[in-house]
A and B are shown apart, each in its own frame.
Chain A
C-alpha cells in the first residue's frame, strides 16, 4: 500500500484544476494547492473576505495589513484582481459562480455529507466561519484529507457522526491513498496511488467501494 505526502496531494489536486476556473481554497492544507497551479495557466483564486485574483504571499517588507486571505494571512492581488464586500463575496459562492472549492474534512459520508467545522466536543467554542457557505457554494466541492485520522479511523464513513457542515455537497475526495468520487451509489475509487488496492481501501474504510471503469 502506498501513501503520498501532503505536498504531492496538493500537486495532484492542482493538476485537476483547468485554466479559467474560479477556485476557493479553504484554510489549512488546501491552501497548498495554490503553490502547484502552473504559472502559465490563468486560474482565479477567490478569498471569501473579498478578493478575486489572489496572489502569493508578499515579501516581508511588503506585507499589507489591508490585504489578507480568509486565514488572515498576508497575500497579494494579481493584475486583474477585484475587491468586493462580504455579501457579494458569499453571493458568488451561494449563487454558484465558483467552479471549484477545496476543503478539509473530519468526515465525508457515502452520500457526500461533509463534517469539517466542529467535533462536537463538549466545552469547545463553536466557530463556523465560511465553512457551511463554502460547502454548498461551488459547482464542485473537493475535499483534501488524509484517509485516516491519527487514531487510524476512516474519515470516509457510511454516515457522519460529527456535526454536519453540509448535506450531499461533496463531489470528490482526494486522500493520501486514493481519489474517490461521490456517486449516487456511494464512493467510487477514481485513482489509486502507487500499490494501493481497492481491497485494502475497503479494509481501511469498512465500506464497500467500486472501482471507476474508464469508458
Chain B
C-alpha cells in the first residue's frame, strides 16, 4: 500500500540537509506553508538557498526562518514589501545573497526543471540589466534570452486537500507556485487542511497528481472555511475579526 501521509510536520521535514535548496510556495501569505516552515526552523537545517516569490512577511513563516539566520541565499522576484523588514535588515547588513528573477521567468524556470527541459529562450527581461551576461538569440524577429531551470532538493508547499497517494487540490489564488514547485524538487512535502480518503478527490479536478508529491501532512485547517464552505470572519492575515460588542 502506498501511503505518503506522515503523522506530523516534524516527520514531514525530516532529513532536510544543511546547504539544501528549498522551494517554498506562496504569493505573499496566500499559499505559504507556514506550519512546514515552522517545522523546518525546529528541524534546524541551515546554509539554505530558498526559492520563493517573496522574502517573507511580518515575523512568521519564511520571515522567521530568515530571522534565525538559516538562509544563505534568496532566489525571488519581489523581496521588498511593506512588511519584509526581516529580509530588508539582513540584506542591508550584507548577511544574505539575493538573486532577483522576473516573476514569469521564475515560474517558467521552476516549471522547466519539473518538466525535464534543459533551458529555454524567454522574451522577458530582454535588454534589461537582469539579462546582462545571458545568451541572447533572435527568433522569428523577436529577441529572447536563455534561461536555465531552477530545481530544488526540497519543496514545501501548501494545498487544500490531499490523499495518501499525494494527489492535491488547492484553494483559489493560494495555488500559485504549488503545482510547479511540486514537480521541481527531489522531495516534495505538502501540508493540507485535510487528508481525504483515496477516491474522494475528483480525478477530473486533481491539480497536482501524486507522482510529484512525496509526503503529505495535515495541519490545522484554515479558519475561514468550514466543511468546504467559505465562512469569512477573518482579516487578510487570517486572524479572526474582533467581535464587536
Residues of A within 8 A of B (CB): 47-51, 58, 60-68, 72-74, 77, 83-87, 89-91, 93-94, 113, 123, 125-133, 136-137, 163-167
Contacts and interface: CB of A to CB of B under 8 A. Distances in A.
Given A49-B27, A163-B129, A167-B127, A126 B175 contact: no
Contacts of B122: 94
B37 to A, nearest CB: 16
A66 B79 CA distance: 20
A63 B170 CA distance: 18
A86 B28 CA distance: 13
Contact of B177 (A85, A130, A131, A133): A85
10 closest pairs, A vs B, by CB?
A: A90-B104, A133-B104, A167-B127, A86-B107, A129-B78, A87-B111, A127-B80, A72-B28, A132-B102, A130-B103
Among B87, B102, B106, max chain A CB count under 10 A is at: B102
Among B103, B143, B173, max chain A CB count under 10 A is at: B173
A50 B100 contact: no
B98 A77 contact: no
Given A85-B107, A86-B177, A129-B103, 11 more contacts: A49-B30, A65-B29, A65-B238, A83-B172, A85-B177, A87-B107, A87-B108, A91-B108, A125-B88, A129-B102, A166-B126
Nearest to B179: A85
Contacts of B134: none
Interface stretch (B9-17, B39-47, B226-234): B226-234
A163 B53 CA distance: 21
Contacts of B171: 66
Nearest to B170: A83
Nearest to A89: B107
Interface of B: 27-31, 53, 77-81, 87-88, 91-92, 98, 100-108, 110-111, 122-130, 143, 170-180, 207, 222, 224, 230, 232-238, 241
A130 B102 contact: yes
A127 B236 contact: no
Contacts of B28: 68, 72
B235 A50 contact: no
A47 B172 CA distance: 12
A93 B123 CA distance: 11
